[in-house]
Amino acid sequence: MYNQPMLRDDALKGKTIVVTGGGTGLGKAMGTYFLKLGANLVITSRKLEVLQKTATEMATETGGQVLAVQCDVRDYAQVENVLAKTIEKFGKVDGLVNNAAGNFISPTERLSANAFSSIIDIVLKGSVNCTLAFGKHWIAAKQPASILNIVTTYAFTGSAYVVPSACAKGGVLAMTRSLAVEWGKYGIRSNAIAPGPFPTKGAWDRLLPGNLAEKFDFKKRVPLKRVGENQELANLAAFLISDFSGYINGEVITIDGGEWLQGAGQMNGLEAIPNEMWDMLEQMTRAAKGS
């Protein structure tokens, strides 16, 4: 079944992994699975109370070790503090998941310059800050490591009404591919996941407020006619952060049930044609042969 764990039980044994934005949503789901696979986990975000509650839940559910550290990823000094606290507690760090994000829907011309910057600062600069601090540490320590960036499918297509997020995620994808090459020689891999719709409270409150969730039903946009299950994303994330994906570097893996391709293919709208009409349409297209 698609919501079952995938990797073997000790797949992340002995690894320490930091997940930004790890107190809620997809970050929480990934972190919980990493713990089940034997990892030590550090979760960070701005709201310490949320982090501490999640850390307690995770430890109870998995029996693993979880450290909660408050950190606004926009502030480099706070990111360095996460690194220091991680080393202090676990002795080393092996993986970083840049998952923290901010987003909301708006026509771009309604945004203040500060609103635009806020999203760029959280998503792009936040991912840069974490990657830079951890990367410097790994290179100095001569330690191999794995970076996983959570982007979106509109990092490559762009998207109206979430333009700051699209710009920022596009930048994170460029960083993923750039550092895969530059830091490959240090044994530091960089990969990304581009999720389609996974209904988390954080995303849905900001992208589909009020009755938009019914009006703009994501399930209808997805060829598989469903949204994602958190465990499906956690399975992919665990694989990419683990040594099992040791030869994958600079890759972005889309997990969206085919959603973005459905929007892209020119004739995909023919999905709306009922089956019984295809006999007539075939006759018409065959008849066009002689014209």
Q: Identify which range of 98-106, 128-136, 181-189, 268-276 contacts ligand NAP by CB under 6 A.
A: 98-106
Q: Is 66 in the site for ligand HXC (CB under 6 A)?
A: no
Determine the Cα–Cα distance for residues 289 and 207; give it in Å rounded to an integer. Answer: 47
Q: What number of chain residues touch ligand NAP (CB under 6 A)? A: 29
Partner whose binding site includes residue 249, from ligand HXC, ligand NAP, none (CB under 5 to 8 Å by kind): none
The answer to whether the beta carbons of residues 100 and 126 sit under 8 Å apart is yes
Contacts of 209 (CB under 8 A, 6+ apart): 105
Q: Does 20 bind ligand HXC (CB under 6 A)?
A: no
- Does 134 contact ligand NAP by CB under 6 A? no
Q: Is 131 in the site for ligand NAP (CB under 6 A)?
A: no
Q: Per-residue x/- mask for ligand NAP, residues 201 to 230, rule CB under 6 A?
A: -xx---------------------------
When binding is defined by CB under 6 A, the residue of 52, 118, 143, 157 that contacts ligand HXC is 118
Q: Is 104 in the site for ligand HXC (CB under 6 A)?
A: yes
Can you tell me which of 203, 233, 238, 240 binds ligand HXC, judged by CB under 6 A?
Answer: 203
User: What secondary structure letter does DSSP report for 250?
Assistant: S
Contact between residue 85 and residue 67 where contact means Cβ atoms under 8 Å apart: yes
Contact 98, 20 (CB under 8 A): yes
Q: Positive or negative CA dihedral for 199, 203, 205, 207?
A: negative
Longest CA pairwise span in the chain (Å)? 78
CA 236, CA 11: separation in Å to the nearest integer?
Answer: 13
Q: Exposure string (b/e) for 35-55, b if CB count within 10 Å is 16 or more? A: bbbbbbbbbbbbeeebbeebb
> Judged by CB under 6 A, which of 42, 150, 162, 166 binds ligand NAP?
150
Strand 95-98 and strand 66-70: pairing? unpaired
Catalytic residues: 154
Only one residue has tokens 């295809």, namely 278
110 and 116 in contact (C-beta within 8 Å)? no
The SS3 call for residue 206 is: helix
Binding region for ligand NAP (CB under 6 A) out of 17-25, 174-182, 264-272, 273-281:
17-25
- Residue 197, interface with ligand HXC (CB under 6 A)? yes
Q: Closest distance between ligand NAP and the C-beta of residue 186, in Å?
A: 25
Contact between 156 and ligand HXC per CB under 6 A: no
Residue, CB closest to ligand NAP = 202
Contact window for ligand NAP (CB under 6 A) among 58-66, 96-104, 133-141, 273-281: 96-104
Q: Which amino acid is at 248?
A: I
Q: Which does 118 bind (CB under 5 to 8 A by kind): ligand NAP, ligand HXC, none?
A: ligand HXC
